[in-house]
Chain A
Amino acid sequence: MVRHKKHHGVRLRSLFLWHRYFGLASALFVMTLAVSGVLINYSDDLRLNKRPVQADWLLDWYGIAAPAIAGGYATPAHWITQVGERIYFDKQEINDAVPPLYGALQVADTLVVAAGNQLLLLTPQGEMIDRLSGLEGLPDSVRAVGAGGGHVIVRTPRGNYQGDDQFLTWRPIDANGVDWARTAPLPPSLRDALVKRYRGADVSWERLLLDLHSGRLFGRAGVAVMNIAALLMVLLAVSGAWHFFKRKRR
């Protein structure tokens, strides 16, 4: 009987020891999962999905590089620039703009941006006035935009067209005297800001937390480690419960 009790005590101590090891091994992961999980739960309130990650080392870790920026189109007070598949008004992405960017200029108080198969009209503050396509009478395949005689002129493979004041009627014209929009080197500060903005656009803090929570931040190995951590937590719960009930019975 004494022997049995002694044997039972050794088993219990052993179990307690394993429980402590499980706890120690999973402590870091429990903290990571708990903190990231709570933050993810409040992601909308904290607007984490709207906050881009800006830390260079994290973006490097994700392998996100900005494409080379050839230059931009300068208007009297702003720059229109294409970076990769995005088009920016200064540092602000123009959501409805589809690349490639063919040109941008300001005529009177309207910024005219030729991009994709559209002509975007913006206020000098960057607010969208209108988006014109073939549906509204814009000639097909605009490849350049310029100004002449106070009018906007677009160049297409079939010739040049001059728009009316509303940009809804286009008539063919000769290209003489047209000042075509040309790219110019960006100011270094704007270029650096655009590179940063572009790189951070696809990785929000919510994305980062989700990847940390699942372990995907560290690739397949990270997911495997998180799975092992989850298993450890299950063992921790089982060994803890076992230990509790065994002690209670004694």
Chain B
Amino acid sequence: MTGITSNPRRLKGAPSRPRFYRAPWLHGLLLLCLLCQMPVSWAKGVYQAPQDFLQEIFDGKPPPPQTLWITREIGEGARAILGHPLRLMRVHYWTRGERSVWILEEIGKEQPITLGIVIKANHVEQMRVLIYRESRGDEVRQPFFLDQFKGAGLRDGDKLDRAIDGVSGATLSTRALTKLARLALFLDRQRNAHGSP
């Protein structure tokens, strides 16, 4: 037992461990600090910042935003899709070549869902949930759900030309995303009809 203190793991005469290692509360404090340093976006359900989405879609060089003014005709069409007025008198989009990108919002149950939608040749090329603020139902951001929209276009009545299988427990979010896909396709058609870039 010579050379062994009451703590069997501590050798007598060995240099004492730094205070940090001996104080569990310091570990907790460090963890708390690290959590505070984490991007706030995660806590708020920001899966991808809209700016980052644009950067990704346009290979790091997004074009300047374009503006589509909501005329009476467009407003009525948007209202028919959403079930309520658009609440904005102009909407922005980004376009290069055949592609246009729309970043739109619609309330799922109580909070708005921010969706990035890429339209190419009157069909959905890609959709991504950028910000999800509801407490439940964020399964709609998963590819197994969003991939259903790929290639979707509009048929008569500005409805999607395919059925979208909902996610159980996220009915309202499913509905909101379907409306936004229809709205993006509708607005893209309007910008083409009005000769916007």
Is B90 among interface residues, defined by CB-CB distance under 8 A? yes
Q: Which residues of A contact B65 (CB under 8 A)?
A: 135-137, 168
Tell me which of A129, A134, A136, A168 contacts B89 (CB under 8 A): A129
Is A189 among interface residues, defined by CB-CB distance under 8 A? no
Is B194 among interface residues, defined by CB-CB distance under 8 A? no
Is B117 among interface residues, defined by CB-CB distance under 8 A? no
Q: Which residues of B contact A56 (CB under 8 A)?
A: none
Proximity bits, B127-157, A CB within 8 Å = 1, else 0: 0000000000000000000000000000000
Minimum C-beta distance from A61 to chain B (A): 26
Is B64 among interface residues, defined by CB-CB distance under 8 A? yes
Is A50 among interface residues, defined by CB-CB distance under 8 A? no
| B87 pairs with A134, CB closer than 8 A | no
Is A130 among interface residues, defined by CB-CB distance under 8 A? yes
Within 8 A of B (CB), among A163-199: 166, 168-169
The interface size bin for chain B is: 10 to 19
Minimum C-beta distance from A121 to chain B (A): 8
Within 8 A of B (CB), among A127-175: 127-131, 134-137, 166, 168-169
Is B50 among interface residues, defined by CB-CB distance under 8 A? yes
With the chains together, A195 CA to B180 CA distance in Å? 37
Minimum C-beta distance from B101 to chain A (A): 11
| B89 pairs with A130, CB closer than 8 A | yes
With the chains together, A191 CA to B90 CA distance in Å? 32
Within 8 A of A (CB), among B54-72: 54, 64-65, 67
Tell me which of A96, A127, A131, A135 contacts B50 (CB under 8 A): A135
With the chains together, A191 CA to B144 CA distance in Å? 51
With the chains together, A234 CA to B50 CA distance in Å? 57
| A135 pairs with B103, CB closer than 8 A | yes
Minimum C-beta distance from A44 to chain B (A): 15
Q: Which residues of A contact B103 (CB under 8 A)?
A: 135
- Output the residue of A123, A131, A135 with the most chain B CB within 10 A: A135
Minimum C-beta distance from B169 to chain A (A): 23
| A135 pairs with B64, CB closer than 8 A | no
| A136 pairs with B92, CB closer than 8 A | yes
Q: Which residues of A contact B51 (CB under 8 A)?
A: 134-135
With the chains together, A130 CA to B51 CA distance in Å? 18
| B54 pairs with A135, CB closer than 8 A | yes
Q: Which residues of A contact B50 (CB under 8 A)?
A: 135
Q: Which residues of A contact B92 (CB under 8 A)?
A: 130, 135-136
Known: A134-B51, A135-B54. A129 touches B90 (CB 8 A): yes
| A130 pairs with B88, CB closer than 8 A | yes
| A128 pairs with B89, CB closer than 8 A | yes
| B88 pairs with A129, CB closer than 8 A | yes
Minimum C-beta distance from A247 to chain B (A): 52
Minimum C-beta distance from B130 to chain A (A): 10
| A131 pairs with B88, CB closer than 8 A | yes
With the chains together, A168 CA to B93 CA distance in Å? 12
| B67 pairs with A128, CB closer than 8 A | no
With the chains together, A137 CA to B89 CA distance in Å? 18
Q: Which residues of B contact A135 (CB under 8 A)?
A: 50-51, 54, 65, 92, 103
With the chains together, A131 CA to B50 CA distance in Å? 14
Minimum C-beta distance from A36 to chain B (A): 24
Minimum C-beta distance from B64 to chain A (A): 7
With the chains together, A128 CA to B50 CA distance in Å? 21
Tell me which of A96, A127, A134, A166 contacts B67 (CB under 8 A): A166
Known: A135-B50, A135-B51, A135-B103. A130 touches B64 (CB 8 A): no
Q: Which residues of A contact B88 (CB under 8 A)?
A: 128-131
Q: What residues of chain B have their CB less than 8 Å away from a CB belonging to chain A?
A: 50-51, 54, 64-65, 67, 87-90, 92, 103
- Offer 17 A-B interface pairs, CB within 8 angstroms, sorted by A: A127-B89, A128-B87, A128-B89, A129-B88, A130-B89, A131-B88, A134-B51, A135-B51, A135-B65, A135-B103, A136-B65, A136-B92, A137-B64, A166-B67, A168-B64, A168-B67, A169-B64
Other contacts beyond A131-B88, A136-B92: 4, CB < 8 A:
A129-B89, A130-B92, A135-B54, A135-B65
Q: What residues of chain A have their CB less than 8 Å away from a CB belonging to chain B?
A: 96, 123, 127-131, 134-137, 166, 168-169
